[in-house]
């Protein structure tokens, strides 16, 4: 591979969609939050917590809005007019937030996504949208990595896909062993990036993992 299209998203904004403050939170959801607040030792009826159950309900609808979308739909529109470009495309350091399914604690980190197109490419923002579509669900990092890679593989049918995720987990930093600053790295390689050692070495180097 001799031609590289790479972008570092730390210098590019992907604007999140605004939360819907008009969502009506059902009484049973609010009651569940009130029960949890009471169980932790606080008083859900005190002034500072009166509106917390509704806020928490709306927040979780936002955190988990990925359940309401098909991430693969973002890859439906592709482009063939790329001036003959047929080399690897890399989108680096895409920031994301998710929540672990074991403790509902935050997972925060970055993902780098690469693919080697056959005849068509997709808009770069769509790769980030695929990531967010899966991240905005209850997750484990290993599954998130695999889902993003498989979605791109199935929908774009490229020569190869590589996804590397580096994240910190609130269930480890804020509870349990309480060890902040520890990052977990997972990867999924498909196609030529898995089968060809030269391609694998190059794409991982472009992601800063060489």
Check if the beta carbon of residue 185 is closer than 8 Å to that of residue 204.
no
> Is 169 labeled as catalytic in the residue annotation?
yes
For 155, the token pair is 């929908």
Catalytic residue among 132, 141, 151, 159: 141
- C-alpha to C-alpha distance for 106 and 98, rounded to whole angstroms: 6
- C-alpha to C-alpha distance for 94 and 92, rounded to whole angstroms: 6
Catalytic residue among 12, 87, 101, 142: 101
> Is 101 labeled as catalytic in the residue annotation?
yes
Catalytic residue among 62, 97, 157, 171: 171
> Is 171 labeled as catalytic in the residue annotation?
yes
Check if the beta carbon of residue 171 is closer than 8 Å to that of residue 184.
no
> Is 192 labeled as catalytic in the residue annotation?
no
Catalytic residue among 74, 169, 192, 202: 169
- C-alpha to C-alpha distance for 35 and 114, rounded to whole angstroms: 45
For 84, the token pair is 């003959």
* SS3 label, residue 137: coil
CA–centroid distance for 157 within its chain: 21
Catalytic residue among 30, 74, 99, 100: 100
> Is 141 labeled as catalytic in the residue annotation?
yes
Please name every residue paired with 5 in a beta bridge, in sequence order, or none if there are none: 89
Q: Dump strand ranges (E) for 71-129.
A: 78-79, 89-100, 106-116, 121-122
- C-alpha to C-alpha distance for 185 and 110, rounded to whole angstroms: 10
Catalytic residue among 62, 97, 103, 168: 103
Q: Which residues are the active-site residues?
A: 100-103, 141, 169, 171
């Amino acid at each position: 591979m001799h031609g590289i299209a790479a972008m570092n998203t730390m210098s590019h904004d992907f604007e999140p969609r605004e939360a819907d403050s008009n969502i009506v939170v059902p009484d049973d959801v609010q009651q569940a939050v009130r029960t949890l607040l009471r169980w932790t030792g606080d008083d859900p009826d005190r002034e500072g917590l009166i509106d917390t159950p509704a806020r928490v309900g709306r927040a979780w609808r936002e955190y988990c809005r990925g359940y309401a979308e098909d991430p693969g739909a973002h890859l439906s529109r592709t482009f063939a007019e790329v001036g003959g470009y047929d080399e690897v495309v890399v989108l680096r350091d895409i920031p994301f937030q998710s929540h672990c399914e074991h403790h509902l604690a935050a997972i925060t980190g970055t993902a780098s996504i690469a693919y080697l197109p056959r005849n068509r490419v997709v808009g770069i923002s769509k790769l980030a949208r695929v990531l967010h579509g899966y991240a905005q669900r209850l997750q484990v990092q290993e599954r998130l990595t695999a889902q993003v890679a498989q979605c791109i593989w199935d929908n774009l049918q490229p020569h190869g896909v590589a996804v590397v995720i580096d994240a910190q987990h609130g269930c480890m930093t804020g509870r349990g062993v309480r060890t902040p600053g520890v990052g977990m790295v997972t990867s999924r390689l498909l196609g030529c990036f898995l089968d060809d050692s030269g391609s694998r070495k190059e794409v991982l180097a472009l992601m800063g993992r060489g």
